[in-house]
Structure 1
Amino acid sequence: MVKLVLLHRADSIYGDVPEAQYDFPKAYLKAVSDGVGDWAIYYEPVKAGPKGYFAVAKIRQVIPNPAAEGRFLALVEPESFLEFDATVPRLIHGRPLESALGHVDGTPKAGGALQSAVRRLPEAEFARIVNLGLPPDLERDEATRYDPVQPGFADAPAVFERPVIERLTRRAYRDVAFRRKVRAAYDYRCAMSGLRLRNGGGRPEVQAAHIRPVADGGSDSVRNGLALSGTLHWMFDRGLVSVAEDATILVSRNKVPGDVVSRLINADNRLHTPGDPRDAPHPAYLKWHRENVFGQWTPDGSAPWD
């Protein structure tokens, strides 16, 4: 097994879905096959967009692409994909983070390896890039973001730095990373009510909801997330509200009182989406929610409006 860098362009003509699959030609089959069972970092070249190194995922399997002869798909472990909290540039202080992209003196090379869609990545360089994109102290940073003094943190002399892979697979860490990315993508505004509420300490009241739960094959991609108020998050998880193909908000009218709808849902009845269209909900996740969750709630207790 070997760790990899996978070049990805948002405007790619190939069938890339970073959280699910990576489409590549036969020329890279040996390199990608060597990476099966190990982790890869996604990289967006500067000319294609501003991201740089932007996410990490584990490669589960390589199969022929059924839609394109001579191409292959690297399938991603469903629960492994995680976007970086902050994108990481290729160069820091003028030197590449990948040694293969630099000369002996550390100055960057041009062309050649830089343009390769798949690059092998040494363990130490993988760890360095991940640590820059997903810092070891991310949980502490989030916990003290709006309240600097937190029980259990104030007396800690230093952050315990867990091994990179342990951090990437730990649910508590992933939940923090997902929440930060989703709420920021929606500018801390509820996607259904349109409200941006903060408490007295400035803490955003909006929550991050998975459209398709991780337990049901969903990912921690921003495109599988919605920023929602607490009540609407509760309603969305129970299928009382959903989102149509045209971004219209769907409401289970026989289960939700009309006055509740008028108070909670924005007047135009349409979903507010992120400023960056690449962060907008993926149609496949919304379709899954409509087909598997929407309208299926059976009351098992009082609702928030009772």
Structure 2
Amino acid sequence: MTVLSSIEVRRLFDDLRRAPSTAGRYAPHKPLLLLLALARLQHGRTGQFGFVEVEESLRQLLTEFGPSNARNTRHLPYWHLQSDSGGHLWQLHLPAELSQHPRAKAPSLTLLRGAEVTGGLHPDVEQALHSNPALLVEMARLLLDNTFPDSLHEDIASVLGLDLTPPGQFAKEEPPSYDSTARRRRDKAFRDQVLRAYEYRCCVCGFDLRLGHLPVGLEAAHIQWHNVGGPDITTNGLSLCSLHHKLFDLGAFTLAPDSLKVVFSEHALAGSRGLSGELQHHGKDLLRPVVAEALPAPVFLHWNWTNVFKKDARRFA
């Protein structure tokens, strides 16, 4: 077994193949499976595992945090990860009937369930993470940062039972920082420009509380997420209260690209409050920005509708 340094482990996780950010594709399958593997390891569950052991957990994660119908391709990352990072991040042990199966084409879901395949983090990587719990947390945060908006990190960790608190300090021999090829610098002016355009109020519910001159609970949300190529410009931003920001990033609602009406998903259930709760905003017009030039651009709204919104949409009354 090779003893990997923290820097080598970071490089393997950072070399994970992703859809090009310029294409604006949102593909969380591999990061979610790796986060699931990290959570297992954090809870002392070492060694490889069969696909059926994690299938239901992965299906749930993709249902909650992936595009519509992502759960139908939940078997793909388990197979395709073996080709990432030079084959040094994820390893599969294949039975004879799959030993000659082309790596570029995953077996069917049924075949992967039935075959005696085991897989998981490469033993060298697992050993490095197991011996350095702080590095494990850092890799979990890297996957979250590179794939999901900040508003979803704690929710994903909670579903996984993954503790994101670093246990003590990082090893002194190596720095805790890493260079991510997928991360872009954020424009610090983005938040103020978006909030100002919407007169410091939530464009869904009108929330506009201030403490003195300080807006409270208002956030600038990216319509097309920043980590998948969404630019820091006003036409890709919405001023949302923290609640509606979370609901927006979860795909509970979006904006109709043609009318800018608020559209809630059929999967968003309001319980006993019904239409007196959040669903009262369904079908309502967006509270428009002060200048037409700041209106959400259709290209970003289409991206959100395609990649984040949990289809199908509720009907308008």
Query: What TM-score range do you get, normalising by the shorter chain?
Result: 0.3 to 0.5
Structure with the higher strand share, 1 or 2: 1
Structure with the higher fraction of residues in helix conformation: 2
TM-score, normalisation: structure 2: 0.37
Which structure is higher in RCO with an 8 Å CA cutoff and minimum separation 6? 2
